[in-house]
Structure 1
Amino acid sequence: MNYLSVENLGRNLGERWLFRDLTFGILQGEKVALIGSNGSGKSSLMDVLAGKVPPDAGIVSIRKEIKVGYLHQNPDFNDAHTVLEVLFTSDNEITQAIRQYEKANESGDAEAISHYAEVLTRLNGWDYEAKVKQILGKLGIHDFDKRIGELSGGQKKRVFLAKVLIDEPDFLILDEPTNHLDLETIEWLESYLSASTMTLFLVTHDRYFLDKVCNRIMELNQSKIYKYQGNYAYYLEKKAEREEIAATVLEKDRNLLKKELEWMRRQPKARTHKAQYRIEAFHDLKERAAGPKKEDKLELSMKTERMGNKIMEIQHVSKGFNGTTFIKEFSYTFKKGDRIGIVGKNGLGKSTLLSLITEEIKPDMGKIVKGETIKIGYYKQEGLVFSPDQKVIESVREKADYIKMADGREISASAFLTLFLFPPEVQYSPISKLSGGERRRLQLLKVLVENPNFLILDEPTNDLDIATLNVLEDFLAGYGGCLLVVSHDRYFLDRLVDHTFAFEGDGYIRDYPGNYTDYRNWADEQAKELKKAPKVVEVKKPSASAETKRKLSFKEKMEFEALEKEIPELEKEKEELSQLLSGGLTDFEEIAKVSARLEELVSALEEKEMRWLELSEFA
């Protein structure tokens, strides 16, 4: 069943077409990712498909009887509403029934009360509030009575994500759903969407997320759509094959063009009409032989300032706000070549540590001693700060007119901007006209232009396209200075860091020697060992009034032992089905069957793990 059909779609920005003649479809049950470079039109395409912006050409058809949800980059809420009020003003079937039930209760209409009570029972609506709070909790929102106007931009987006998930649309469109989420939340969302039967169309730069969730990739490249049936790893393989075939065909066309060009030159003008078909074929061949427009690639090659022996020492530092300790007695001595990733849930103090290192705030206890030769470059999560009419080139010239390159050359700010994919016509445009990804790229440029030898990156992957991320990763892999990265992009962390600062709560920062996946595997093993470890019970002489501790009955003991066997088996089946879904299934019935089973497994695991915890108290 086709949920979405797009025919000859186009979007015109006035001075140029952002994209045109796009034709594709999405079937029920498919989980499709759209990838492409910054400025290629991904978010604009999402807005057109969701009906937020009309197309300038072509037709978008969405099946009438289905419900569509859309998570866009800038959610718009009433700032006076609380978090729960936003979720309960959703226009789904359950919230409508809840409102009608409450209205009937107020009026005392017994017949209406009975009717809507039956509706809520049929829809499992009595547990709706618990479900809302559970999803909000998973997304890191715990203060349900807080007003929307008091939330940060990232928190607002998480509330909006909760809203679209709770509405359970048939077709869900997501624009960068992992931005502003911590790693634990991303992994939960990944699992939730993998198990869901919802049809998905999403834009994301998270390559692990693409691999786990999506079974089809579409690439928007130079106003064309290229389609790949499979996950991200499959896409990379097939894209390389396509480009290799295209290069071979192009070479053949160019060789043939040489022969046809000789034939054209030999033809007397008077006889041209006798071979008109061949002349027309020659012009077609000439156009093909020109090949596609060469795709500009970002170039990163900056000089790094010399670094002395003393880099930086964090000595017994503590920091708290409003009675809450975020960093407690943390010490670390940085060494040359350190490549450290910082991970942990949102709100535990990751950005606080960066602010202490950059001396934006002072510690409550301890001190940070910085070496004389250390030059910090700080890429902030908050984004680029600029005045409305400031031009791109003006923002770079604030830092430097000439930039030192790794090979010793000095190039002008304009030439440097060109290397960063800002051509001359864009350089003299206002920054306000840049896309979100282009602004992030400009922000990165402004940090690197000062040639830092201690580079701090706070969520650098937000809004950057995959091609830019690959180039940035290549540059950072060869970077000679110290690197400190806060990121929710697991692929980015695994490729670049060999050391992890893990914020585990209550101000404690674990200093772990390994990348994110190493740390996560270790933490999972620790959690399993903790479950297996026998409980140490202090033996006390019971008093006359002491109650005897309840023990498991024979039936409960058998149930507990069965759960210890069942839970690992269900986990294994869940992992196998997740891999099957992301491996390129094309048959809708099979996709629906596997997705339904995944949902059952997720539900069963939650129930069995909760029961295991209950019984373990008395085991």
Structure 2
Amino acid sequence: MAILLGAEGLHLEYPTKVVFESVTLGLQEGQRVGIVGRNGDGKSSLMGMLTGRIEPVEGRVTVRNGVRIGVLSQSDDLSPDATVGHSIVGDAAEHEWAGDPRIRDVIGGLVFDLDWDATITELSGGQRRRVALAALLVGEWDVLALDEPTNHLDIEGIAWLADHLHRRWAHNAGGLLVITHDRWFLDEVCTDTWEVHSGIVEPFEGGYAAYVLQRVERDRIAAATEAKRQNLMRKELAWLRRGAPARTSKPKFRVEAANQLIEDEPPPRDSISLQRLAVARLGKDVVDLENAGVRFGDTDVLRGVTWRIGPGERTGIVGANGAGKSTLLSLICGTLSPTSGRVKHGKTVRIGLLDQQFSQLSEIAGDRVREVLARTQASFTIGGREYTPAQLLERLGFSRAHLSARVGELSGGQKRRLQLLMILLDEPNVFVLDEPTNDVDADMLAALEDLLDSWPGTLIVVSHDRYLLERVTDQQYAILDGTLRHLPGGVDEYLRLAKERDATPAPEPTVHASDDAAEPTLSGAERHALTKEVASVERRIQKLTVQMEKIHSDMAEHDPTDYPALQRFTEDAQALQTEIDELEEQWLELSERLDG
């Protein structure tokens, strides 16, 4: 394949830091590269050098003649006084851009909800970001360099962007460089991964899952000083290998050594033990929403929400921006009262909220981190191990060198770590996370997921990060048109429902008396979606059946005179059987629709 751009011997340093020693790499036709690494290691600097926006101290970047490079940086150069429309299509007449299917697709995917005549100064930060991305994507480019393109996009927007990048160029044409912490997006879009670390750029074949496999292999061979990091990645790898086959079908390298690492690795969570601990800490009553609704003025944000949140429940909430996710969290946390229905909190409930505004840190911005930790409890137990606050902060990827920094001087990622620690030290038994992936890198996300795996309590997560939701929660709900809807098929089901909602409904056919019993014919897209949903339910039934067999095996081996333990086994088995029966009934309904 032809080279689009190449870099040779790139060296970059600042007065206090060498960012890159000597980097040589190239981007080929058809290559889609995800750039990953810790915050501050030089991902944006690498992209800046490759696109000509940063001049290296040594080395050079060569771009093939005629190659057009489009760049989305973390800040835009939109004119504050320009309108949304002018910022995207310039002075082009409406019939010119409206007749271009690609431009219509970009506008429909990113800015359909914005006033075409609004000025940039009237927009929020997230809206402005979407305008900048749309203005870039309507152009003709041979290479796109995107720095955090998924920021401020909801799950639907992220799925649209991934699909757009799939369709934008032919299979062996065009080139993509993308920096993002969204691991689902990396897996969906990228053919290669470049890890930036220690002043070098290390290439890996495949998306995020393939990168994890190869990174574990590399860490296994590395010195013992990498032990902590390796153990964390082993757990991540074990989950990936137990997930969808597509996650591990792309790599073409030897994985036997990596498989040996996880041969005896247990599942990420012991759900039954965590459930039992959660009941002990919470009792049976957590938070009950009964026909709850919230109205602001003449607008119903939420309506008819009935949800009994149980002890140990691990739930992800999805929905478009503005759908009412934060409003729902406010009801759960008790900071907002419903305008209809009611919300009831259990007597022993202690809610910890990780919000987007760093509210836990606002009053201690002038304090040093070590002073803050000194005022907390002396130790904290998680997963059967005891940690000091400093050790727990280190487990979350916080450098000890930053213990002397003032809270207000920390970076966004460091503030997020400290905020998380402050909440955990308060020992909540209900943990609510509102967009926890903001300002954190992939390593921090892996550390967060590892910590949540052993956290015994009720977990509710609102996030556009599909990977995180599927990794740490056991079920997902969506807010659609002000109502809360369970998603047995996960995020895929939500995207299908959202697409159906947004589609223009076809005219109702005339029904004659003799046609009353006629069944509508499924379209190809509907049949595909139903098939995926049936497969999802089958996988869930299989998983629960394995858990049921383990309970029966444990009961057979247990002391028959230990009546309390046998009672717990029986209750667990009954709960599993109830869920299996419900899923089998759902499977029958779906199969009938598919066969009809």
Query: TM-score, normalised on structure 1?
Result: 0.66
Q: Deviations 1:592-618 (Å, cap 9, x if unpaired)?
A: xxxxxxxxxxxxxxxxxxxxxxxxxxx
Instruction: Report the Cα distance in structure 2 between the residues aligned to 1:566 and 1:361, rounded to whole angstroms.
Output: 40
1:182 is aligned to 2:158: no
Q: Summarize the Cα distance change of 1:373–1:64 in structure 2 as closer, same or farther, 3 Å threshold.
A: farther
Which position in structure 2 is the counterpart of 1:148? 120
Q: Which moved more, 1:2-11 or 1:364-373?
A: 2-11
Which position in structure 1 is the counterpart of 2:319? 344
Indicate conservation of the 8 Å contact 2:397/2:447, yes or no.
Answer: no
Which position in structure 1 is the counterpart of 2:332? 357
Which aligned pairs between 1:463-474 and structure 2 lie closer than 5 A? Answer: 463-474=439-450
Instruction: Report the Cα distance in structure 1 between the residues aligned to 2:349 and 2:526, rounded to whole angstroms.
Output: 51
Per the alignment, in what secondary structure is the counterpart of residue 85 of structure 2? helix
Indicate conservation of the 8 Å contact 2:10/2:23, yes or no.
Answer: yes
Indicate conservation of the 8 Å contact 2:303/2:483, yes or no.
Answer: yes
Structure 1 residue 406: deviation in Å?
A: 2.2
Where structure 1 has 5 or more consecutive residues not aligned to the other structure, the ranges are: 90-94, 103-119, 251-289, 541-560, 573-619
Where structure 2 has 5 or more consecutive residues not aligned to the other structure, the ranges are: 236-268, 514-520, 532-596
Per the alignment, in what secondary structure is the counterpart of residue 282 of structure 2? coil
Structure 1 residue 434: deviation in Å?
A: 4.6
Which position in structure 1 is the counterpart of 2:299? 324
1:369 is aligned to 2:341: no
Q: Summarize the Cα distance change of 1:129–1:29 in structure 2 as closer, same or farther, 3 Å threshold.
A: closer
Match of 2:395 among 395, 416, 419: 419
1:200 is aligned to 2:176: yes
1:450 is aligned to 2:426: yes
Structure 1 residue 190: deviation in Å?
A: 0.8
1:191 is aligned to 2:163: yes
Q: Summarize the Cα distance change of 1:152–1:298 in structure 2 as closer, same or farther, 3 Å threshold.
A: farther
Which position in structure 2 is the counterpart of 1:88? 89
Query: TM-score, normalised on structure 2?
Result: 0.69
Q: Deviations 1:194-232 (Å, cap 9, x if unpaired)?
A: 122231001123233222211111111222221123333
1:157 is aligned to 2:129: yes
Match of 1:537 among 506, 510, 516: 510
Q: Summarize the Cα distance change of 1:525–1:19 in structure 2 as closer, same or farther, 3 Å threshold.
A: closer
Write the letter of the residue equivalent to 1:79. Answer: P
Structure 1 residue 292: deviation in Å?
A: 8.1
Q: Summarize the Cα distance change of 1:389–1:320 in structure 2 as closer, same or farther, 3 Å threshold.
A: closer
Instruction: Report the Cα distance in structure 2 between the residues aligned to 1:487 and 1:223, rounded to whole angstroms.
Output: 32
1:315 is aligned to 2:283: no
Per the alignment, in what secondary structure is the counterpart of residue 75 of structure 2? coil
Indicate conservation of the 8 Å contact 1:341/1:516, yes or no.
Answer: no
Indicate conservation of the 8 Å contact 1:296/1:421, yes or no.
Answer: no
Per the alignment, in what secondary structure is the counterpart of residue 443 of structure 1? helix
Q: Deviations 1:358-399 (Å, cap 9, x if unpaired)?
A: 233332222222123211111123457659974660684497
Match of 2:107 among 136, 148, 156: 136
Per the alignment, in what secondary structure is the counterpart of residue 22 of structure 1? strand
Q: Summarize the Cα distance change of 1:168–1:381 in structure 2 as closer, same or farther, 3 Å threshold.
A: farther
1:502 is aligned to 2:478: yes
Q: Summarize the Cα distance change of 1:520–1:162 in structure 2 as closer, same or farther, 3 Å threshold.
A: closer
Instruction: Report the Cα distance in structure 1 between the residues aligned to 2:358 and 2:75, rounded to whole angstroms.
Output: 15
Instruction: Report the Cα distance in structure 1 between the residues aligned to 2:402 and 2:392, rounded to whole angstroms.
Output: 13
Instruction: Report the Cα distance in structure 2 between the residues aligned to 1:150 and 1:66, rounded to whole angstroms.
Output: 35
Which position in structure 2 is the counterpart of 1:511? 486
Indicate conservation of the 8 Å contact 2:111/2:134, yes or no.
Answer: no
Structure 1 residue 490: deviation in Å?
A: 2.0
Write the letter of the residue equivalent to 2:132. Answer: F
Indicate conservation of the 8 Å contact 1:8/1:59, yes or no.
Answer: yes
Q: Summarize the Cα distance change of 1:56–1:398 in structure 2 as closer, same or farther, 3 Å threshold.
A: farther
Indicate conservation of the 8 Å contact 1:494/1:517, yes or no.
Answer: no
Which aligned pairs between 1:23-102 and structure 2 lie closer than 5 A? Answer: 23-63=24-64, 65-89=66-90, 98=92
Q: Deviations 1:116-145 (Å, cap 9, x if unpaired)?
A: xxxx9xxx9453688655423312542222
Which position in structure 2 is the counterpart of 1:602? none
Q: Summarize the Cα distance change of 1:130–1:399 in structure 2 as closer, same or farther, 3 Å threshold.
A: farther
Q: State, as a whole percentage, how many aligned pairs show the same letter.
A: 35
Indicate conservation of the 8 Å contact 1:399/1:450, yes or no.
Answer: no
Q: Summarize the Cα distance change of 1:133–1:351 in structure 2 as closer, same or farther, 3 Å threshold.
A: farther
Indicate conservation of the 8 Å contact 1:205/1:466, yes or no.
Answer: yes
Instruction: Report the Cα distance in structure 2 between the residues aligned to 1:19 and 1:389, rounded to whole angstroms.
Output: 33
Q: Summarize the Cα distance change of 1:155–1:484 in structure 2 as closer, same or farther, 3 Å threshold.
A: same
Per the alignment, in what secondary structure is the counterpart of residue 306 of structure 1? helix
Per the alignment, in what secondary structure is the counterpart of residue 47 of structure 1? helix
Which position in structure 1 is the counterpart of 2:256? none
Indicate conservation of the 8 Å contact 1:389/1:432, yes or no.
Answer: yes
Q: Number of matched residues?
A: 472
Match of 2:461 among 461, 485, 492: 485
Per the alignment, in what secondary structure is the counterpart of residue 205 of structure 1? coil
Q: Summarize the Cα distance change of 1:525–1:203 in structure 2 as closer, same or farther, 3 Å threshold.
A: closer
Which position in structure 2 is the counterpart of 1:218? 194
Instruction: Report the Cα distance in structure 1 between the residues aligned to 2:333 and 2:33, rounded to whole angstroms.
Output: 41
Structure 1 residue 314: deviation in Å?
A: 1.2
Indicate conservation of the 8 Å contact 1:392/1:426, yes or no.
Answer: no
Write the letter of the residue equivalent to 1:150. Answer: E
Indicate conservation of the 8 Å contact 2:232/2:450, yes or no.
Answer: no
Indicate conservation of the 8 Å contact 2:290/2:342, yes or no.
Answer: yes
Instruction: Report the Cα distance in structure 1 between the residues aligned to 2:363 and 2:99, rounded to whole angstroms.
Output: 45
Instruction: Report the Cα distance in structure 1 between the residues aligned to 2:207 and 2:483, rounded to whole angstroms.
Output: 38
Q: Summarize the Cα distance change of 1:130–1:84 in structure 2 as closer, same or farther, 3 Å threshold.
A: farther
Write the letter of the residue equivalent to 2:285. Answer: K
Instruction: Report the Cα distance in structure 2 between the residues aligned to 1:418 and 1:68, rounded to whole angstroms.
Output: 40
Instruction: Report the Cα distance in structure 2 between the residues aligned to 1:7 and 1:387, rounded to whole angstroms.
Output: 48
Q: Summarize the Cα distance change of 1:358–1:405 in structure 2 as closer, same or farther, 3 Å threshold.
A: same
Q: Summarize the Cα distance change of 1:238–1:420 in structure 2 as closer, same or farther, 3 Å threshold.
A: closer
Q: Summarize the Cα distance change of 1:195–1:2 in structure 2 as closer, same or farther, 3 Å threshold.
A: same
Which position in structure 1 is the counterpart of 2:309? 334
Which position in structure 2 is the counterpart of 1:172? 144
Instruction: Report the Cα distance in structure 1 between the residues aligned to 2:228 and 2:382, rounded to whole angstroms.
Output: 25
Instruction: Report the Cα distance in structure 2 between the residues aligned to 1:132 and 1:534, rounded to whole angstroms.
Output: 28
RMSD: 4.1
Compare relative contact order (CA 8 Å, sep 6+) and give the higher one, 1 or 2. Answer: 1
Which position in structure 1 is the counterpart of 2:251? none
Per the alignment, in what secondary structure is the counterpart of residue 281 of structure 2? coil
Which position in structure 2 is the counterpart of 1:461? 437
Instruction: Report the Cα distance in structure 1 between the residues aligned to 2:412 and 2:385, rounded to whole angstroms.
Output: 31
